[in-house]
């Protein structure tokens, strides 16, 4: 079915006079990520094509032009070229395995001259390209599985390639998976089956004075099986012919990437099952209102729902907590929630006590409905809560809370833990129609002492700075990856006599780790890989490092007697060094020195396996 629909799409393109749609590989490619997709604190600036888990597809020139920049790195875009076309637009091709000649030779010469693995060239002195010439070859450098990332830039803007003459393989219409209707601090959820049936739950059908706002969970997939959920081009909510709210992604600006915070609401499962798109425009419902929701993907497939308000809908509701957050305190829809459903849990029954300035306000399990509840709703019922004490399996735990004033653009919060301080500062807070709250809780993750901070996805456009008293943070600060659940070193943290601090553009959980263990190397093995479009023999060596990571490719140095530099490519996933076998010395061994981001370094003398006749 998907192949048939793709064939129809190609035929339609020709009928519409778009038979010159640019195909980077010279053949159709399916999307795995779309333009404007959620990347946490920014939009995805381009599109990603599947290369069917293979490397080495030729990347063809989209028009006449020249390469104006090239960079080699184990992170971010990996091996990347910036191609300036005759049209004046700049095309970016990333995560490459190599470059066409003569650029490949020029990069090798630069690496050898500078004795650096990571290099960048501006306006390399190589001939210009014609339409259809081979620029480079697809790969997996930087991060992730093999794929091609393509961007289209015009000045300070990035353009949606799918709307600008680039073929985008997508055979399925978007999925509308859930809805949230907000009224003040109250939230009602509707599931996929509810929306298919036209049922949209609202918090209080009798309240026709306070406006409603909406969020819809949407995912788009290019083909079956359903893997790699993508974003959509357009979301429209309307009443009759009147548009209530609409977002369209045809053009983005780099200066406005952070605006994604005002469009998407944070939920843990967004990376695996779609994003929550926030429609911020207020809406006053009337009796017998019927709304229409439309979700359009990058190639024009439209999914729509006719929706009628109801007090409640019977279907299964969207997941709130997810698998990586603790149920007592978690973030959902960019708000902190308290897991009062645990009041009645047989496995982890929990008592919740609300305090204000040390005085007990409520025994929540006796006074509040035992369901997971937004913290803002609890503050509406019990104003002044600044502490929640938990009793679970005989152990006591604490959540500390700070309410952000409604008109605050910047906010500071100090919380005390065992007599020591944690100070948070948030700048350029965005205006939202709910109570903004910061919540902190101490926890242990893989034997790492840590603090969790909520809500993830807090709406602000500036920075979040957190400072710990030196007695709390006696060793360096690390942040916890939301999906990987691995610790990463804050590369620009500040350590002073009295405190240790770091800044980010999003809230993360923070732990304290003293990493004194240098990286180790695993057992070398011979293999093959696509190098500059040709399959060549390579030597792969696993890198074993537990906490601090490798800062960049130049943290790795390889050499041998009479050969002061040997190019070492660091593949950050799955953490291994790759050497072109023909680059290795003729002797029995060579030396590798590797340093992690915490400064731990170690040198190794590596024996070179010899090829057999069959190899």
| 139 CB-contact burial (10 Å; exposed 0-12 / middle 13-18 / buried 19+) | buried
Is-contact 269 319, C-beta < 8 A? yes
H-run or E-run covering 13: helix 2-15
pLDDT digits (tens, 9 = 90+) for 420-433: 999 999 999 998 99
Quote the pLDDT of residue 337.
Answer: 96
Q: Give the DSSP letter of residue 560.
A: B
Beta bridge partners, 359, equal 356
pLDDT at 572: 84
Q: What is the pLDDT of residue 496?
A: 82
Q: How far apart are CA 32 and CA 90, in angstroms?
A: 22
Q: Is residue 539 part of a domain?
A: yes
24 and 127 share one domain: yes
φ, ψ for residue 2, nearest 5 deg = -60, -40
The pLDDT of residue 611: 67
Only one residue has tokens 């799409």, namely 9
Give the number of other CB atoms < 10 A from CB of residue 200: 26
Decide: helix, strand or coil at residue 196: helix
Of 483, 512, 541, the residue at which a domain comes to its end is 512
Q: What is the DSSP string of 413-475?
A: EEEEETTEEEEEEE-SBPP-SS-EEEEEEEEEETTEEEEEEE-TT--BSS-EEEEEETTT--S
pLDDT of residue 50: 93
The residue among 31, 304, 302, 328 whose CA lies nearest residue 161 is 31
Q: What is the pTM of this model?
A: 0.91
The answer to the question of residue 315 being in a domain is no
Q: How far apart are CA 96 and CA 93, in angstroms?
A: 7
Interatomic CA distance for residues 350 and 394, integer angstroms? 9
Q: Do 278 and 384 sit in the same domain of this protein?
A: no
Looking at residue 9, the DSSP 8-state letter turns out to be H
Mind listing the pLDDT tens digit for each residue in 284-334?
A: 988 778 899 999 999 999 999 999 999 999 999 888 877 888 999 999 999
- Identify the domain boundary among 163, 186, 203: 163
The CATH number for 43's domain is 2.70.70.10
Q: Residue 229 maps to which CATH number?
A: 2.60.40
According to DSSP, the β-strands at 411-417 and 395-404 are: unpaired
The answer on 353 and 282 residing in a single domain is no
Calculate ∠ Cα 531-80-480, nearest 5°: 105
**And the tokens for 183?**
């009224």
- Which two three-digit tokens encode residue 32? 């795995």
In a domain, 317, yes or no: no
Q: Say whether both 503 and 536 belong to one domain.
A: no
Say if 319 falls within a structural domain: no
Q: Are both 19 and 102 inside the same structural domain?
A: yes
Whether 287 and 368 share a structural domain: no
- Tell me which DSSP letter residue 114 carries: H
Count CA atoms within 13 Å of residue 266 on its CB side: 25
Give the span between the Cα atoms of 157 and 162, in whole angstroms.
Answer: 15
Q: Is residue 432 part of a domain?
A: yes
Residue 169 included in any domain: no
In a domain, 222, yes or no: yes
Q: Please tell me the predicted confidence (pLDDT) of residue 586.
A: 86
549: nearest Cα among 602, 494, 599: 599
- Distance, in Å, from the CA atom of 506 to the CA atom of 504, rounded to the nearest integer, reads 5
| Domain contains 321 | no
What are the residues facing 48 on neighbouring strands? 33, 149
Same domain, 34 and 126: yes
Place of tokens 């990333």: 94
Instruction: Return the SS3 of 107.
Output: helix
Among the candidates 479, 512, 545, a domain finishes at 512
User: Given its phi and psi angles, is residue 142 left (phi above 0), alpha (psi -120 to 50 degrees) or beta?
Assistant: left
Give the model's pLDDT for residue 39: 81
Q: Looking at residue 270, what is its pLDDT?
A: 63
Distance CA 2, CA 451 (A): 46
Query: Which single residue is written with the structure tokens 């306006």?
Result: 123
CATH number (domain holding residue 365): 2.60.220
Helix, strand, coil: what percent of the chain each, to 5? 10, 45, 45
Do the beta carbons of residue 146 and residue 53 sit within 8 Å? yes
Pair 148, 203 in one domain: no
User: Can you list the residues of the chain whose pLDDT is less than 70?
Assistant: 1-19, 270-272, 611-615
Q: Are residues 211 and 353 located together in one domain of the fold?
A: no
Distance CA 136, CA 339 (A): 52
Are residue 35 and residue 133 in the same domain, yes or no? yes
CA distance 495 to 595: 21
* Judgement on whether residues 209 and 300 belong to the same structural domain of the protein: yes
Q: Which domain holds residue 564?
A: 520-607
pLDDT for residue 612: 60
Residue 5: the pLDDT is 41
Residue 345 and residue 280 share a domain: no
Is 99 in contact with 136 (CB distance < 8 Å)?
A: yes
- The domain total for the chain is 4
């Amino acid at each position: 079915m998907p192949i048939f629909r793709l064939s129809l799409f190609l035929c339609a393109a020709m009928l519409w006079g778009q038979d010159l749609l640019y195909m980077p590989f010279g053949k159709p490619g399916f999307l795995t990520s779309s333009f404007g997709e959620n990347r946490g604190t920014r939009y995805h600036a381009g599109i990603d094509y599947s290369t069917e888990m293979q490397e080495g597809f030729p990347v063809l020139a989209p028009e006449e032009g020249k390469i104006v920049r090239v960079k080699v790195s184990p992170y971010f875009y990996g091996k990347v070229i910036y191609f300036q076309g005759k049209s004046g637009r700049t095309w970016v091709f990333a995560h490459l395995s190599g470059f066409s000649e003569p650029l490949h030779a020029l990069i090798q010469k630069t690496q050898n001259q500078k004795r650096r693995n990571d290099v960048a060239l501006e306006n390399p002195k190589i001939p210009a390209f014609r339409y259809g010439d081979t620029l480079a070859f697809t790969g997996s450098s930087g991060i992730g599985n093999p794929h091609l990332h393509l961007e289209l830039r015009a000045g300070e803007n990035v353009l949606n390639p799918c709307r600008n003459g680039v073929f985008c393989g997508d055979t399925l219409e978007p999925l509308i998976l859930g809805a949230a209707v907000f009224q003040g601090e109250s939230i009602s959820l509707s599931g996929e089956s509810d929306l298919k049936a036209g049922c949209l739950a609202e918090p209080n059908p009798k309240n026709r004075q306070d406006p409603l706002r909406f969020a819809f969970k949407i995912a788009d997939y290019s083909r079956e099986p359903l893997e790699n959920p993508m974003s959509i081009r357009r979301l429209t909510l309307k009443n009759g012919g009147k548009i209530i709210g609409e977002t369209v992604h045809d053009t983005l600006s780099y200066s406005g990437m952070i605006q994604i915070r005002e469009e998407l609401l944070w939920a843990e499962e967004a990376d695996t099952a779609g994003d929550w798109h926030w429609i911020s425009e207020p809406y006053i419902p009337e009796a017998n209102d019927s709304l229409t929701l439309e979700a359009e993907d990058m190639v024009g497939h439209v999914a729509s729902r006719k929706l009628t308000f109801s007090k409640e809908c019977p279907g299964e509701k969207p997941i709130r907590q997810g698998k990586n957050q603790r149920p007592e305190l978690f973030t959902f829809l960019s708000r902190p929630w308290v897991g009062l459903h645990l009041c009645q849990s047989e496995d982890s029954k929990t008592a919740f006590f609300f305090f204000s300035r040390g005085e007990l306000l409520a025994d929540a399990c006796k006074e509040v409905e035992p369901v997971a509840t937004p913290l803002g709703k609890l503050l509406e019922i019990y104003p002044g809560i600044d502490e929640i004490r938990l009793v679970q399996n005989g152990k006591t735990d604490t959540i500390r809370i700070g309410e952000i004033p409604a008109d605050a653009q910047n906010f500071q919060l100090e919380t005390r833990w065992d007599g020591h301080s944690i100070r948070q500062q948030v700048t350029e807070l965005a205006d939202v129609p709910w109570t903004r709250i910061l919540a902190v809780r101490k926890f242990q993750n893989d034997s790492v002492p840590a603090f969790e901070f909520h809500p993830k996805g807090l709406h602000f456009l500036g920075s979040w700075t957190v400072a710990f008293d030196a007695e709390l943070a006696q060793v360096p600060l690390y942040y916890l990856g939301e999906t990987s659940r691995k610790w990463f070193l804050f590369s620009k943290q500040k350590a002073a006599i009295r405190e240790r601090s770091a800044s980010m553009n999003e809230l993360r959980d923070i732990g304290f780790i003293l990493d004194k263990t240098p990286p180790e190397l695993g057992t070398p093995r011979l293999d093959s890989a696509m190098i500059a479009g040709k399959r060549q023999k390579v030597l792969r060596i696993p890198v074993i490092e537990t906490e601090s990571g490798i800062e960049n490719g130049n943290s790795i140095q390889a050499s041998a007697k009479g050969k002061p530099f040997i190019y070492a490519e660091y593949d950050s996933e799955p953490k291994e060094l790759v050497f072109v076998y023909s680059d290795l010395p003729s002797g029995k061994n060579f030396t590798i020195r590797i340093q992690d981001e915490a400064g731990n370094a170690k040198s190794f003398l590596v024996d070179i396996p010899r090829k057999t006749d069959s190899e």
